[in-house]
Amino acid sequence: MLSTMQDVPLTVSRILTHGSTVHGGSEVITWTGEGEPQRRSFAEVGRRAARLAHALRDLGAAEGSVIGTLMWNNAEHLEAYLAIPSMGSVLHTLNLRLPPEQLAWIVNHAEDRTVIINGSLIPLLAPLLSQLPTLEHIVVAGPGDRSVLEGARARVHDYEELIAGRPESFDWPEIDEREAAALCYTSGTTGDPKGVLYSHRSLYLHSLQVNTAEAFALGSGDIALPVVPMFHVNAWGLPHAAFMAGASLLMPDRFLQPVPLAEMIETVRPTIGAAVPTIWQGLLAELDARPRDVASLHTVVIGGSACPPVLMRGFQERHGVRVVHAWGMTETSPLGTVSHPPAGVDEEAEWTYRATQGRFPASVEARLIGPDGERLPWDGAAAGELEIRGPWIAGAYYGGAHGETLRPEDKFSPDGWLRTGDVGTITPDGYLMLTDRAKDVIKSGGEWISSVELEGHLMAHPDVVEAAVVAVPDEKWGERPLATVVLAEGVSTGYAELKAFLGERIARWQLPERWTVIPSVPKTSVGKFDKKVLRRQYADGELDVTRLD
């Protein structure tokens, strides 16, 4: 029996219209690096978004057109964020940290015909222009040397001139909520980048969730500081969620270094911020060296990778800022879990809970899958790969040669759940504790051995500088761990001693038989252990391995 409720779609245009009317007095405050920050009311953002939509339509944008942005976090980027999906086109956020050839690949794959770019980023785009045949329009916002764009096949427009004098309202189309609204590519370490195509529905539901008390609880009294870039998974949902709740936004633009961050926090007094650990680590060091009043920040959300406990404690104990751990990925919009400890636990337990990735919201269904495909219990002990399902979780990629849907089987289960590639445990009360990437765990006789855990124990030995543990093939067990260690200068600790040291800390069956000393652990371009290289070196017989059975 169908209900009698109104059938109203959940769309980005609703967020835009709501924020710019009911919360028209809230502000987008963009840091300029000098003098007063730029302040623009939500009402003004709404009018400018309408003007932008008229302009983009005149440049040929239609429903379903993909429009790129290569921009910092600022008011113009927010206008594009809201206008492009609202007019039925698709916002494609381009990651300005990508290697040039990947950036070009992505623009071509998405067939961006228009790109809105900050003037300061022209040097990134200009050298690629000859490789971007689909690009017809470049819209430049803010200062920057435009001379290098002269002679480009694409037409170059000034953002302000383009939107000047256009109507301040737009008759936003009523879009099916399952239509695409935004596109973000994952920078996969293997294979071509793959696009995640968010829908109006997924962005809307995600925004509602972000604003709940179990997540970040944005309200109209808040000022949110998304340090996490808007090209990185929707800046974790903050721009949409803030506009929905009427929370003002402090946009750092390109000023992501510790000193300007500290200055903008002290000056504008945001209440909640979000960034990866590296950023907060730098800010903490700056604040410790030159204290400032940052106590307006009641919450700092950390995600992207696990947050060192010392960082959480440092912010809280020395600066009165509460750090909240969250987990997600491009494929999850990104809100997967948020770590608020349960009410009423003691301080020690609270810190234990806060070190976890946290709890799933109702819209994210989770299961742990063991090495043999079996479903594992939530007992805080059984480790499995995390699979999730929900209305803001990707069910496929926009990734084939002509943009067709891709469902690689290592990324999606046969019943459609996302295989996150993360391995961990879930406690009986629903807290996720991630320990490994699936590709880094060792599958030994139907059990998983955590390489991260072994590495942690090894690196606790006073003579060990670095340690990387990788899976190597084993006739009897399928896979076994190979321990590669970098010793401190001048020591010559034996393998037997290291193995005995490990043996006091982990189960016997997890102890590596294969050991090798290497001069340094190979690293990826972002400084992570590159275990692919170690596995290849082992396979090619390049490592001098000692066996201790």
> Cβ closer to a copy of itself: 176 or 288?
176
Q: Please tell me the count of residues contacting a copy of itself according to CB under 8 A.
A: 77
> Should residue 261 be labelled a site residue for a copy of itself when binding is judged by CB under 8 A?
no
> Cβ closer to a copy of itself: 4 or 147?
4
Give the list of residues 6+ apart from residue 271 with CB closer than 8 angstroms, or none: 221, 222, 223, 224, 296, 297, 298, 299
The interface with a copy of itself within residues 71-90 (CB under 8 A) comprises 90
CB of 178 to a copy of itself, least distance (A): 6
The answer to whether 379 touches 428, Cβ cutoff 8 Å, is yes
> Cβ closer to a copy of itself: 182 or 467?
182
Write the binding mask 404 to 443 for a copy of itself: x where contact by CB under 8 A, - elsewhere.
Answer: -x----------x-x---------xxx-------------
> Should residue 289 be labelled a site residue for a copy of itself when binding is judged by CB under 8 A?
no
Write the binding mask 480 to 509 for a copy of itself: x where contact by CB under 8 A, - elsewhere.
Answer: ------------------------------
> Should residue 309 be labelled a site residue for a copy of itself when binding is judged by CB under 8 A?
no
Integer-rounded Cα radius of gyration of the chain: 25
Give the list of residues 6+ apart from residue 520 with CB closer than 8 angstroms, or none: 466, 486
> Should residue 110 be labelled a site residue for a copy of itself when binding is judged by CB under 8 A?
no
**Phi, then psi, of 60 in degrees rounded to 5:** 105, 0
Single residue of 112, 179, 440, 479 touching a copy of itself by CB under 8 A? 179
Write the binding mask 121 to 160 for a copy of itself: x where contact by CB under 8 A, - elsewhere.
Answer: ----------------------------------------
> Should residue 402 be labelled a site residue for a copy of itself when binding is judged by CB under 8 A?
no
The answer to whether 134 touches 104, Cβ cutoff 8 Å, is no
Provide the CB-side half-sphere exposure for 547 (13 A, CA).
4
> Cβ closer to a copy of itself: 17 or 510?
17
CB of 205 to a copy of itself, least distance (A): 7
Concatenated DSSP letters of 409-452: TTTB-TTS-EEEEEEEEE-TT-EEEEEEEGGGSEEETTEEE-HH
> Should residue 534 be labelled a site residue for a copy of itself when binding is judged by CB under 8 A?
no
CB of 333 to a copy of itself, least distance (A): 8
CB of 524 to a copy of itself, least distance (A): 27
> Cβ closer to a copy of itself: 252 or 391?
391
Active site residue 186: yes
Active-site pick, 136, 267, 443, 499: 443
Single residue of 244, 423, 482, 485 touching a copy of itself by CB under 8 A? 244
> Cβ closer to a copy of itself: 240 or 514?
240
> Should residue 18 be labelled a site residue for a copy of itself when binding is judged by CB under 8 A?
yes
> Cβ closer to a copy of itself: 202 or 450?
202
Q: Distance between CA 357 and CA 180 in Å, rounded?
A: 29
**Phi, then psi, of 146 in degrees rounded to 5:** -90, -5
Q: Distance between CA 150 and CA 147 in Å, rounded?
A: 5
Single residue of 1, 289, 507, 526 touching a copy of itself by CB under 8 A? 1
The answer to whether 177 touches 208, Cβ cutoff 8 Å, is no
Active-site pick, 331, 385, 387, 455: 331
Single residue of 30, 199, 357, 451 touching a copy of itself by CB under 8 A? 199
Single residue of 141, 154, 197, 279 touching a copy of itself by CB under 8 A? 197
> Should residue 209 be labelled a site residue for a copy of itself when binding is judged by CB under 8 A?
yes
Burial call 207-217: b when 16+ CB within 10 Å, e when fewer = bbbbbeeebbb
Neighbours of 133 (CB within 10 A): 12
Write the binding mask 49 to 68 for a copy of itself: x where contact by CB under 8 A, - elsewhere.
Answer: ---------------x----
Residue range at the interface with a copy of itself (CB under 8 A); choices 44-52, 201-209, 259-267, 315-323: 201-209
Angle at 202 between CA 215 and CA 223, to 5 degrees: 40
CB-count burial class (<10 Å; 0-12, 13-18, 19+) for 311 = middle
The answer to whether 116 touches 68, Cβ cutoff 8 Å, is yes
Q: Distance between CA 141 and CA 78 in Å, rounded?
A: 12
CB of 171 to a copy of itself, least distance (A): 14
Q: Distance between CA 116 and CA 159 in Å, rounded?
A: 8
The sheet that has 90-93: what strands, in order across it?
90-93, 66-70, 114-118, 137-141, 155-158
The interface with a copy of itself within residues 339-378 (CB under 8 A) comprises 340, 342-344, 359-363, 365, 378
> Should residue 198 be labelled a site residue for a copy of itself when binding is judged by CB under 8 A?
yes
Q: At what angle do helices 309-319 and 347-354 cross, to 10 degrees?
A: 130
CB of 179 to a copy of itself, least distance (A): 6
Residue range at the interface with a copy of itself (CB under 8 A); choices 137-145, 217-225, 250-258, 461-469: 217-225
Residue type, 38: Q
CB of 299 to a copy of itself, least distance (A): 12
> Should residue 229 be labelled a site residue for a copy of itself when binding is judged by CB under 8 A?
no
Active site residue 443: yes
Concatenated DSSP letters of 449-478: E-HHHHHHHHHTSTTEEEEEEEEEEETTTE
CB of 263 to a copy of itself, least distance (A): 22
Q: Distance between CA 251 and CA 141 in Å, rounded?
A: 15
Active site residue 448: yes
Give the list of residues 6+ apart from residue 347 with CB closer than 8 angstroms, or none: none
> Should residue 335 be labelled a site residue for a copy of itself when binding is judged by CB under 8 A?
no
Catalytic residues, which ones? 186, 331, 443, 448
